[in-house]
C-alpha cells in the first residue's frame, strides 16, 4: 500500500466525522429499536457474503439494507444504523481468515475506510431524502446519491492504488454492478415499505434480497465455468501438436503485457486476454495431416488453414462471455497493409486488440520450435518484428511489445530500446526472416 493511498484511507475519517456532526443537527424522531437491531444484524451478515465481480469490485446485499435505513429513520438514526452495521460486519471480516492464505479478510485500515465511506454515503443520502420529502421520487434520488458517493469514494481509492484514470475505473465498475445495485435498491425500498411496524417482515424480505445475491453468484460462477471450458478446448487444440503446447497461454501472456504497456483499461485488457487464450480454437476443424505437415502447404491446404479464425468465431458465438472478443479472434491474422486474412482489413480497420494478438502470436511462433525449423533467437525474432513494423504489424504495438521485453535483447545490455531499434531493424533486413 502506497503512502498516498494510506493517507487517503485514513483521511476518510474526517468527512465521516463531519457527516455525523451534520446529521446530529437535523430534527430526529425515535425509531423502532427492534427494527434498527434487525437491520444492523442483517447488514453485518450481508457484508460477510460478497461476490467478486471484478478485480476492483465486490458486490453484496448491503445497499438494500442501507437504503431501507435511510427511508425508515431520521438522518441521525439512519447513519447510526449504517455505521454500526458496517463496523460490525467489517470487524467480523477482520477476525475471519482466508482459508487458502491464512490472512485476515480485512485489515484495521480497511475497517476505518469502509465504515467511514459508508457513513458519508449514507449521510448524504439521508439528508437528501429528508429534504426532498418521503415520496417515491425522493427515494429514487436518495438511492442515486448513495450509489454515486459510495462508488465515487471507492473509485478514488482504486485509482490511487493502480495509478489509473478514475473515470475509466468508474465506467468499468458501473458496467459490472449497476444492474445488480439497482435491483438491490428496489428491494431496499420494498424492505422499508413493508417493515414499518412489522420488524419481523424485514427478515422475510431478505429472501428476495438473498435470491438476487444467489443469482449473481451463480451468474458469475457460470461465466467462470464457461470460460474455463472454452479455454480447455483451446488447450486441447494446442496439445494436438507437441510444438504448440501452451501456445495460446503464452500468446495471452504476451498480449496482456503489451496491452498494459499501451495503457489500456483493465476491462479491455481482459477482453484481449480472453480472445488471445482461444485465438486458435478454430484449428479444431483442421485435419491432423495438414496441421502437422512438415513441408510446404498446398494452396488448397492453406485455404483450409485460413478458415480457422472464422471457425473459431462460429464456436465462440455460442458463449456470451466472448461477445466482445470474437472480433479479435476473427482478425488476429489481418495485416496492417491489408494482405492478411480472412477479410483483408488494413490499418485502423483492424481492432487494436487483434493487432496486439497478432504481434504476440507471431513472436511466440518465431521463438518456438516448429517441425520445419528450430526456434529463432530472441534478437532475430525481434528484428523480424521490426522488419514488418508498419506493414505486417502495427508500429506502436511492435514498439510496446519490444519495450515490455527487456530480457529479449541481451546482446545490447542496458541500452535504451530507442537506441537499439535501428540495430535490430538492420539485423532484420540482413537475415530476411520469412514470417
pLDDT in tens, 231-260: 888 888 888 766 667 889 999 999 999 999
Q: Has residue 354 got a pLDDT over 90?
A: yes
Give yes or no for a contact between 84 and 140, defined as CB atoms under 8 angstroms apart. Answer: no
As separate numbers, helices (DSSP H) first and strands (DSSP E) second, the chain gives 19, 2
Give yes or no for a contact between 283 and 243, defined as CB atoms under 8 angstroms apart. Answer: no
pLDDT at 414: 36
- Tens-digit pLDDT profile for residues 72-113: 999 999 999 999 999 998 888 888 877 767 777 778 888 899
CA-nearest of 339, 338, 317 to 326 is 317
Report how far Cα 25 is from the mean position of its chain's Cα atoms. 42
Give yes or no for a contact between 209 and 187, defined as CB atoms under 8 angstroms apart. Answer: yes
Q: Has residue 170 got a pLDDT over 70?
A: yes
pLDDT at 376: 82
Q: Has residue 288 got a pLDDT over 90?
A: no
Q: Has residue 124 got a pLDDT over 90?
A: yes
pLDDT at 209: 66
Contacts of 35 (CB under 8 A, 6+ apart): 72, 195, 199, 202
Q: Has residue 211 got a pLDDT over 50?
A: yes
Cα gap 428→386, rounded to integer Å: 7
User: Which percentage of the chain shows pLDDT scores above 70?
Assistant: 83
Average pLDDT of the segment spanning 101-130: 88
Question: Alpha helix (H) ranges present in 54-165?
Answer: 62-72, 75-95, 108-132, 136-162
pLDDT at 151: 87
Q: What is the 3-state secondary structure (H, E, C) of 77-100?
A: HHHHHHHHHHHHHHHHHHHCECCC
pLDDT at 265: 81
Q: Would you tell me how many other CB atoms lie within 10 Å of the CB of residue 385?
A: 24
Kindly report which listed range (137-151, 215-229, 238-252) carries the lowest average pLDDT score: 215-229
Cα gap 129→117, rounded to integer Å: 18
Cα gap 350→338, rounded to integer Å: 9
Give 197-253 as a DSSP string. Answer: T-THHHHHHHHHHHHHHHHHHHHHHHHHHHHHHHHHHHHHHHHTSGGGTTHHHHHHH
CA-nearest of 135, 122, 6, 14 to 69 is 122
pLDDT at 415: 43
Average pLDDT of the segment spanning 291-298: 76
Instruction: Give the DSSP letter of residue 375.
Output: P
pLDDT at 51: 65
Cis link prior to 342 (omega < 30° from 0)? yes
Kindly report which listed range (1-5, 52-56, 77-81) carries the lowest average pLDDT score: 52-56
Q: Has residue 199 got a pLDDT over 90?
A: no
Cα gap 122→80, rounded to integer Å: 10
- Tens-digit pLDDT profile for residues 379-427: 888 889 989 999 999 999 999 999 888 654 444 333 444 555 555 455 4
Give yes or no for a contact between 12 and 19, defined as CB atoms under 8 angstroms apart. Answer: no
Question: Which pLDDT band, with edges at 50, 70 and 90, does 55 fall under?
Answer: low
Q: Has residue 119 got a pLDDT over 50?
A: yes
Q: Would you tell me how many other CB atoms lie within 10 Å of the CB of residue 80?
A: 21
Cα angle at 126 between 82 and 45, to 5 degrees? 20
Give 35-48 as a DSSP string. Answer: HHHHHHHHHHHHHT
pTM here is 0.64
Domains of the chain: 3-223 (no CATH), 240-431 (1.10.3210.10)
Chain-wide mean pLDDT for the chain? 83
Question: What are the φ and ψ backbone dihedral angles of 57, each rounded to 5 degrees?
Answer: -145, 130
pLDDT at 13: 93
377/332: higher pLDDT: 332
Gyration radius (Cα) of the chain, Å: 28
Amino acid at each position: 500500500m502506497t503512502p498516498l493511498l494510506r493517507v487517503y484511507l485514513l483521511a476518510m475519517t474526517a468527512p465521516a466525522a463531519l457527516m455525523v456532526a451534520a446529521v446530529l443537527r437535523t430534527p430526529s424522531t425515535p425509531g423502532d429499536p427492534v427494527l434498527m437491531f434487525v437491520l444492523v444484524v442483517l447488514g453485518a451478515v450481508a457484508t460477510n457474503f460478497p461476490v467478486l465481480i471484478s478485480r476492483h469490485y465486490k458486490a453484496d446485499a448491503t445497499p438494500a439494507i442501507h437504503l431501507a435505513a435511510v427511508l425508515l429513520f431520521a438522518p441521525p438514526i439512519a447513519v447510526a444504523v449504517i455505521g454500526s452495521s458496517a463496523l460490525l460486519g467489517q470487524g467480523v471480516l477482520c477476525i475471519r481468515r482466508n482459508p487458502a492464505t491464512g490472512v485476515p479478510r480485512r485489515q484495521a485500515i480497511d475497517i476505518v475506510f469502509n465504515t467511514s465511506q459508508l457513513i458519508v454515503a449514507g449521510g448524504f443520502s439521508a439528508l437528501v431524502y429528508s429534504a426532498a420529502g418521503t415520496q417515491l421520487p425522493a427515494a429514487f434520488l436518495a438511492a442515486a446519491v448513495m450509489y454515486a458517493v459510495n462508488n465515487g469514494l471507492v473509485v478514488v481509492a482504486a485509482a490511487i492504488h493502480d495509478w489509473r484514470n478514475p473515470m475509466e475505473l468508474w465506467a468499468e465498475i458501473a458496467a459490472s454492478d449497476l444492474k445488480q445495485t439497482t435491483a438491490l435498491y428496489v428491494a431496499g425500498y420494498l424492505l422499508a415499505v413493508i417493515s414499518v411496524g412489522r420488524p419481523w417482515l424485514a427478515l422475510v424480505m431478505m429472501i428476495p434480497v438473498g435470491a438476487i445475491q444467489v443469482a449473481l453468484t451463480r451468474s458469475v460462477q457460470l461465466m467462470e465455468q464457461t470460460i474455463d471450458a472454452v479455454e480447455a478446448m483451446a488447450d486441447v487444440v494446442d496439445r494436438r501438436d507437441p510444438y504448440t503446447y501452451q501456445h495460446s497461454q503464452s500468446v495471452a501472456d504476451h498480449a496482456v503485457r503489451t496491452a498494459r504497456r499501451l495503457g489500456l483499461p483493465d476491462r479491455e485488457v481482459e477482453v484481449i486476454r480472453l480472445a488471445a487464450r482461444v485465438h486458435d480454437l478454430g484449428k479444431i476443424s483442421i485435419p491432423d495431416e495438414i496441421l502437422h505437415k512438415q513441408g510446404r502447404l498446398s494452396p488448397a491446404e492453406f485455404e483450409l488453414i485460413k478458415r480457422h479464425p472464422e471457425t473459431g468465431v462460429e464456436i465462440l458465438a455460442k458463449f456470451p462471455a466472448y461477445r466482445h472478443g470474437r472480433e479479435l479472434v476473427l482478425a488476429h491474422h489481418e495485416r496492417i497493409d491489408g494482405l492478411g486474412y480472412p477479410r483483408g482489413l488494413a490499418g485502423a480497420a483492424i481492432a487494436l486488440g487483434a493487432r496486439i494478438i497478432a504481434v504476440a502470436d507471431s513472436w511466440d511462433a518465431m521463438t518456438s520450435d516448429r517441425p520445419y525449423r528450430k526456434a529463432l533467437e530472441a534478437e532475430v525474432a525481434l528484428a523480424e518484428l521490426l522488419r514488418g513494423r508498419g506493414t505486417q504489424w502495427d508500429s506502436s504495438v511492435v514498439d510496446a511489445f519490444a519495450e515490455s521485453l527487456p530480457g529479449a535483447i541481451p546482446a545490447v545490455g542496458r541500452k535504451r530500446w530507442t537506441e537499439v531499434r535501428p540495430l535490430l531493424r538492420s539485423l532484420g533486413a540482413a537475415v530476411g526472416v520469412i514470417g
